[in-house]
Structure 1
Amino acid sequence: MTSEEDIKTLEQQVYQAPILFEWEYIGSDIKGWLRLLLAIGGPGALFGSIVLFGARSTIGAYVGLSVMTLLFIFMVRYLFIPDSHYHYKLTKLGIHYTQEDLIPEMAYTLARGFARVGIVVCLIALFVIGPLAFVGAGAFALMAFGMTNFKSKIDQNIILFSDANILFSLNNDVLINIEPMDEIEFNFVGTIYATSLAKKESIIAELVPLLGEVEVVNIKRRNDIYKHPVFTSNQSEQ
Structure 2
Amino acid sequence: MNKVNEVSEASEQETPFHLLPQEEQHRISATNQKRVREASTIHEWEIRIRESFVPIFILLLIGIPVLIGAWMLWNESSNGWVFIIVGAVMFPYLRYLVMADKHYYYRLTTEGLIVTYHEAIPEVAYTIVRGLAWLGVVACVMAVAVLGPLALVGAGGMALLAVFFTGFEKKPTTEYTVFNKDKAYVVKVVKNRGLIRFDAIPFSWFEFSYMYCHEGDVYKILSCLMDELGCNEYREFKNELSLRRAPVGVLDVGVPRKLDEINK
TM-score (norm 2): 0.67
Is residue 80 from structure 1 mapped to residue 102 from structure 2 by the alignment? Answer: no
Q: Report if the CA contact (8 A) 1:165-1:214 is conserved.
A: no
Q: Secondary structure at the match of 2:28?
A: helix
Secondary structure at the aligned position of 1:20 is classed as: strand
- Indicate the larger mover: 105-114 or 81-90: 105-114
**Distance of 2:211 and 2:40 partners within structure 1:** 19
> 1:180 is matched with which residue: 197, 200, 203?
200
Query: 2:229 maps to what in 1?
Result: 211
SS at match of 1:226: coil
Judging changes above 3 Å, is the alpha-carbon distance between structure 1 residues 77 and 139 closer, same or farther for their aligned structure 2 residues? farther
Which sections of structure 1, spanning at least 5 residues, go unmatched? 57-61, 233-238
Q: Determine the structure 1 residue equivalent to 2:126.
A: 108
Taking a change above 3 Å as real, the CA distance of residues 101 and 139 of structure 1, as seen in their structure-2 partners, is: same
- Following superposition, the deviation at residue 99 of structure 1 comes to 0.8
- What 5-or-longer segments of structure 2 have no aligned partner? 1-7, 11-24, 254-264
Code of the residue aligned with 2:28 in structure 1: it is D
Aligned residue for 1:55?
A: 78
1:108 partner letter: Y
Q: Is the 8 A contact 1:219 1:225 kept in 2?
A: no
Distance 1:138 1:225, change over 3 A: farther
Between 207-216 and 32-41, report the one with greater CA deviation: 32-41
TM-superposed CA distance for 1:120, in Å, is: 4.5
Would you say the 8 A contact 1:85–1:101 is kept in 2? yes
* Distance across 1 between alignment mates of 2:156 and 2:222: 50
**CA-atom RMSD, angstroms?**
3.7
CA contact (8 A) 1:175 1:191 kept: yes
| Alignment-derived partner of residue 210 in structure 2 | 191
Task: List per-residue Cα deviations over 1:17-65 (Å, max 9, x = no partner).
Answer: 11111111111333452353366379x48x95xx88x937xxxxx79x9
Could you say what secondary structure the match of 2:192 adopts?
coil
Percentage of pairs with the same residue: 26
Alpha-carbon offset, residue 77 of structure 1: 1.5
Q: Which residue is equivalent to 2:3?
A: none
Q: Is the 8 A contact 1:97 1:158 kept in 2?
A: yes
Q: Residue 23 of structure 1 contacts residue 87 of structure 1 at CA under 8 Å; is this kept in 2?
A: yes
Distance 1:141 1:41, change over 3 A: farther
Q: Would you say the 8 A contact 2:107–2:113 is kept in 1?
A: yes
- Indicate if the aligned counterparts of 2:186 and 2:250 stay in contact, CA closer than 8 A: no
How far residue 223 of structure 1 moved from its aligned partner, in angstroms, is 3.6
CA 1:148/1:37 → structure 2, altered by over 3 Å: closer, same or farther? farther
Deviation at 1:112, TM superposition (A): 2.2
Out of 71-80 and 159-168, give the one that drifted further. 71-80
For residues 60-110 of structure 1, the C-alpha deviation after alignment (integer angstroms, 9 at most, x for no partner) is xx79x94x8645531331122111221111111101121122211221133
Q: Give the deviation of 1:2 after TM superposition.
A: 3.9
Is the 1:177–1:192 Cα contact (8 Å) retained in structure 2?
Answer: yes
Change (3 A) 1:37 1:216: same
Report the 3-state secondary structure (helix = DSSP H, G, I; strand = E; otherwise coil) of the residue aligned with 2:36.
helix
The alignment of Structure 1 onto Structure 2 pairs a total of residues equal to 217
Greater alpha carbon shift after TM alignment, 199-208 vs 155-164: 155-164
Structure 1's 74 and 97: CA in aligned 2 closer, same or farther, altered over 3 A?
A: same
Report the CA distance shift for 1:172/1:122 in structure 2 as closer, same or farther (over 3 A). same
